[in-house]
Structure 1
Amino acid sequence: MRLGVLDVGSNTVHLLVVDAYRDGYPWPVHSTKTRLRLAERVGPDGAIDAAGVDALVDTVAAARGAAERLGVAELRGVATSAVRDAANSREVVDRVRAATGVRLDILSGEEEARLTFLAARRWFGWSAGRLLALDIGGGSFELAVGLGEEPEVAVSLPLGAGRMAQRLRGDHARDGGDPTAEGVAESVPTEAAVARLRQQLVAAIAPVVPRLQEVGWHSVSASSRTFRTLARLAGAAPKRAGPWVRRTLTRAGLRQVISFIRHIPPARLARLDGVKRGQADQLLAGALVAEVAMSQLGVEVVEICPWALREGVLLRAASATRQLCHESGDITGHLG
């Protein structure tokens, strides 16, 4: 059965299509991303602006068209931090539904953490024991721990790489830096700005650590582009080596990466192998989130997981569908 998930995140809108079979590996057949950065289209009133909503409608319409051409039997649409936190979240999803026919389910932060945990559990299997799953998105940071496929503790914090990068940019301007996009691209934050962000991260993460430690874990997974890029910069295998190559990131290696990228402006950072152009201005902030989290949790090494929220949504959908061995030529489910 061909399934699709449309993930509306803080930075991108990502369509992933897989062929799913009962008790089989969900083979990816199509993946495309559109960079919208919805989190940066939020106005002073806390609402996503009209231009942002229009861009989202156009992107979702294009994704639906691609899903239809690919013969997707069921398309699940989900929206995370940017839409979830917007003052006009309900109006946004209603507009998308009316214009495109695609229903976007707004995931709570806890549900986002649970679905990401499910993906990590399926990827690493039962041999991982009690698993702690970490995921740094554009708007939020998810942590979940447990022994089964449902975590015993699932937490979402508003500490995504994009959100924290905005804090750094604000401090950059207050410290006398050029606040324009060009100025930010060609400069690095001050030591004081980095120190302030570290303090804020510690204050936000420390309170949830006892809940996670009470459950405990045998292994730690880390998903998201931020963790994958940091691992690559620390020496992990490149993407072209395939998803089954083991990749890890140590806290010592992460600290070395931070000391390196800390002094490289985003415009130059984007030229490094493994760093996406649209990610460069958020990478330092995401690295600080990762480093503070690992430090507070006492984690020395994480295993990089190629699966995350989108795969969790698909796995949940596949589990709920009892006709996985039959192909359908009709768009059903969340497209109606």
Structure 2
Amino acid sequence: MNDGPLRLGVLDIGSNSAHLRVADLDPGHPPMPVRSVKSAVRLAEATDRHGVIGRPAVGRLIAAVREAVAAASALDVAELVPYATSALRDAANRDDVAAEVRAATGVELGFLTGEREARLTFLAARHWFGWSAGPMLLADIGGGSLELAHGAGREPEIALSLPLGAGRLTRHHLPPRPPVRKRTRRALRAHVRSVLSEATIAIAGRPEPVRAVATSKTFTQLARLCGAPRAKAGPYRERHLDRSDLHRWIPKLAKLPDEERARLPGVKASRAHQILAGAIVAEGVMDVLGLDRLDICPWALREGIFLNRLSELAEGRPPGLFPEQRPMTLRGAWLCAVT
């Protein structure tokens, strides 16, 4: 057992941003947030049709990682876990980009699989809602992928990652500027339902969840758009997303340009362009799995990593979340690269 809390930094390289979250971990207590540092990298929009991330975005990524490392050092972070999700993980030039980041910053980015993302996010939701949630279904829409998980325990029995991210579908299936015609929306709906129907057969055969949970910025913003309390109300206010409310908003979103979408409740300017695709995926999940409502969970992937490390601390185990780790010193901190 450690003498005091462990200060852990988690650096998440996503489709839109590089987000460093620092928290103090003390067994018996939830992760205690210390600071959050976020930088725009816009990897998804800088990826061409061949899956290659462009040079300007690589420069933004390097600058963001440098900023995160400096912030982690200033905050006396003891362990730093840097990883990339689908936008970089699935890029055709991911190894070249990761090598450039390593050469410029000393940070070796790792790559979480989609299934592992689903499992860690489920862990976070299970801790948030507790055992009273019973058998639980989790949905998480990212920029490049949709994660789904189902189970009655601390970890899910089923964990899936599907290529139904809001950014990916926007680039591949929607026009560059609204309005989006009804026939285009129908085609995207059909695609989403086709992928979901085939992939979720195992989930459909499981006991009906006592609680269906959604997490991620996309679901949170859709819930706010449909009337959920603002973020300022705090994380403990209950928030829901109802299928009937979402269904009414989709044709409205399809008509609005990005700048008008960004003026809607909860919709951030950085995500306005992809909010329609996110809404279509969210509706598809609820339709295919027969869900009328999703409960919004404020904890997600990063909290899942914090909680996993907390379990290790409570049991006196060293970091072992990932199959391989290459620790290196970073101004006195351990840098645990996910591989």
Q: What TM-score results when the alignment is normalised by the length of structure 2?
A: 0.89
CA contact (8 A) 2:40 2:64 kept: no
Q: Which runs of 5+ in 1 are unaligned?
A: 173-178
Q: Which residue of 2 aligns with 1:175?
A: none
CA contact (8 A) 1:138 1:160 kept: yes
Equivalent of 2:257 in 254, 265, 270: 265
Equivalent of 1:26 in 31, 46, 55: 31
The more displaced of 84-93 and 300-309 is: 84-93
Q: C-alpha distance in 1, partners of 2:275/2:184?
A: 15
Q: Which residue of 2 aligns with 1:176?
A: none
How far has the Cα of 1:260 moved from its partner? 3.0
Tell me, yes or no, if structure 1 residue 218 matches structure 2 residue 223. Answer: no
Q: Which residue of 2 aligns with 1:80?
A: 85
Tell me, yes or no, if structure 1 residue 49 matches structure 2 residue 42. Answer: no
CA contact (8 A) 1:222 1:305 kept: yes
Equivalent of 2:14 in 9, 15, 36: 9
CA contact (8 A) 1:115 1:309 kept: yes
Q: Which amino acid aligns with 2:181?
A: T
Equivalent of 1:295 in 266, 287, 295: 287
Q: Which residue of 2 aligns with 1:304?
A: 296
Equivalent of 2:166 in 158, 161, 167: 161
Q: C-alpha distance in 2, partners of 1:79/1:317?
A: 18
SS in 2 for 1:65: helix
Q: Which residue of 2 aligns with 1:314?
A: 306
Equivalent of 1:195 in 173, 182, 186: 186
How far has the Cα of 1:149 moved from its partner? 1.8
Equivalent of 2:154 in 149, 154, 176: 149
Q: Which residue of 2 aligns with 1:333?
A: 335
How far has the Cα of 1:90 moved from its partner? 2.2
CA contact (8 A) 1:77 1:103 kept: yes
Q: Which runs of 5+ in 2 are unaligned?
A: 1-5, 318-330
CA contact (8 A) 2:181 2:254 kept: no
SS in 1 for 2:205: helix
How far has the Cα of 1:335 moved from its partner? 7.2
How far has the Cα of 1:137 moved from its partner? 0.4
Give per-residue Cα distances to partners, 1:238-280, cap 9 Å, x unaligned. Answer: 0000001111111112112223323222111101231111111
Q: What TM-score results when the alignment is normalised by the length of structure 1?
A: 0.90
How far has the Cα of 1:209 moved from its partner? 2.1
Q: C-alpha distance in 2, partners of 1:200/1:237?
A: 32
Q: Which residue of 1 aligns with 2:228?
A: 236
Q: Which has the larger share of helix?
A: 1
Q: C-alpha distance in 1, partners of 2:240/2:92?
A: 38
Q: C-alpha distance in 2, partners of 1:273/1:44?
A: 32
Q: C-alpha distance in 1, partners of 2:269/2:76?
A: 32
Equivalent of 1:205 in 189, 196, 205: 196
Q: Which amino acid aligns with 2:13?
A: V
Q: C-alpha distance in 1, partners of 2:335/2:61?
A: 21
Counting aligned pairs with the same residue, the percent is: 47
Q: Which amino acid aligns with 1:330?
A: G
Q: C-alpha distance in 2, partners of 1:243/1:3?
A: 21
CA contact (8 A) 1:152 1:215 kept: no
Q: Which amino acid aligns with 2:335?
A: G
CA contact (8 A) 2:239 2:295 kept: yes
The more displaced of 95-104 and 298-307 is: 95-104
How far has the Cα of 1:112 moved from its partner? 1.1
Q: Which amino acid aligns with 1:56?
A: L
How far has the Cα of 1:51 moved from its partner? 2.4
Q: CA RMSD in A?
A: 1.9
Q: C-alpha distance in 1, partners of 2:48/2:63?
A: 20
How far has the Cα of 1:44 moved from its partner? 4.2
